[in-house]
Amino acid sequence: MSKNVLVSFSGAKNIQARIALTGSKSECNRALVISALSRGLVRVDNHSNAADTVTLNRILSELAVQGTDERAQVDVGPAGTAMRFLTAYLAVLPGSFHLTGTERMKQRPIGILVDALHAIGAKIGYAGQEGFPPLDIDGGFEQTAGSVEIAGDISSQYISALLMVAAVLPQGLELRIKGELTSRPYVQMTLDMLAEAGITHEWNGNTISIKQQNFGETTLTVEPDWSAASYWYSIAALAENAAIELPALRESSLQGDSRIRSIMKDFGVQTQTVAGGIALARDERSWPSATLNLKDCPDLAQTIIVCAAALGQNLSFTGLETLKIKETDRIAALQNELAQLGVTLTEENQVYTLNCDNLHFPKRIFVKTYEDHRMAMAFAPLALLVDEVEIEDAEVVAKSYPDFWLHLEQAGFGVKALQAEFN
């Protein structure tokens, strides 16, 4: 039976801590696939210990030594990035594969990526509902076309999956992005990491081209996770005072979520570069008057929205369309849980607006996580304002930040495991 966790904070709300974050899940997942495609020429340093990355690493390691003529069973569990990246990777890998995951994974769309792979000759069939996992893949296909068009406003991971395999295709790949590109920094991260591994590209307008070419020998060193850092920015914003050091984070980062630095400046969090990393401190707030566009960093949305709500700011947001197809419908989840504070989040023409006019802080709240790691970590900082925050399914954070509860304790939070009850 899963356990819940009770988070609290006693005494002065003065946070002083040095937190060593795990390697970036986004970077490490890409690095592992690139390494596998390079057949070992590319090595990976500073692995992430996120559950999704551990799963992907295990699967790629097992595939490297597989030798059966039967259809190999590949189960990614709840790892959405692994599902998307492996769909393209298995399509180019000789062999037959059944790619599946959890029940929630079977509800998350994959059809746009499968259609793009079909267009260049890949042999992929649906083993269940059309457009969704599980998939039956006959890898090592004969490429029939060198160009493909794909929608840019659904998931950048579809595009990254195609870009990573492009160099091993006999004709390379010309990828035409239709419409507005969501999460452009993640696509740029993929291209930058490929460049580190010796793979060149051209990006003209909405077209990215990668010719057939060989990987070079190199080591990809994974930076700590800026998504994980975002929760510490929220903690700093909600604290009365803060001095939080996050070692090894770089001012110049491949990760789009490093934008949290500029966003949280308005929330009263100052970022300083220090020897070996960065440091966060409380500062004066200067709330943005314009709508915050989170299109390029949707994984920050829950953290920012919950923090803004707790600070009573009726902010508006755009760029949240992909949140409905993540681990859960994150918009609905936010709406449900923020209601406990008297806060509403409404949508009109893809603009989402907080109304904090009835904001209040009960003595205790119970936060459902909906099997979503970011729900747990976005709401945990509220313990600085609510006496007791009970969070459902403590282990859900293992998906991206396994040490989250331990790190909260290091920063002075009370963290107590509870036997889960039906709520």
Asked whether the CA dihedral 344, 235, 186, 141 is positive or negative, the reply is negative
Place of tokens 């699967």: 59
SS3 call for 209: strand
| Residues sharing a CB contact under 8 Å with residue 106, sequence separation 6 or more, in sequence order | 100, 128, 129, 132, 133, 134
Do residues 80 and 327 touch, judged by C-beta distance below 8 A?
Answer: yes
SS3 call for 324: helix
User: Which H or E run includes 279?
Assistant: strand 277-282
Could you give the CA distance from residue 188 to residue 321 in angstroms, rounded to a whole number?
20
Strand duo 277-282 + 3-8: pairing: unpaired
Which residues does residue 15 pair with via DSSP β-bridges, in sequence order? Answer: 242
Residue 305: how many CB atoms within 10 A of its CB?
A: 25
Could you give the CA distance from residue 100 to residue 127 in angstroms, rounded to a whole number?
9
| Residues sharing a CB contact under 8 Å with residue 245, sequence separation 6 or more, in sequence order | 17, 18, 19, 274, 277, 278, 279, 280
Place of tokens 């295990």: 58
Q: Is 299 a catalytic residue?
A: yes
Nearest to 6 by CA among 366, 378, 399: 366
Which residues does residue 102 pair with via DSSP β-bridges, in sequence order? Answer: none
The catalytically annotated residue of 299, 329, 372, 393 is 299
Query: What are the catalytic residues?
Result: 299
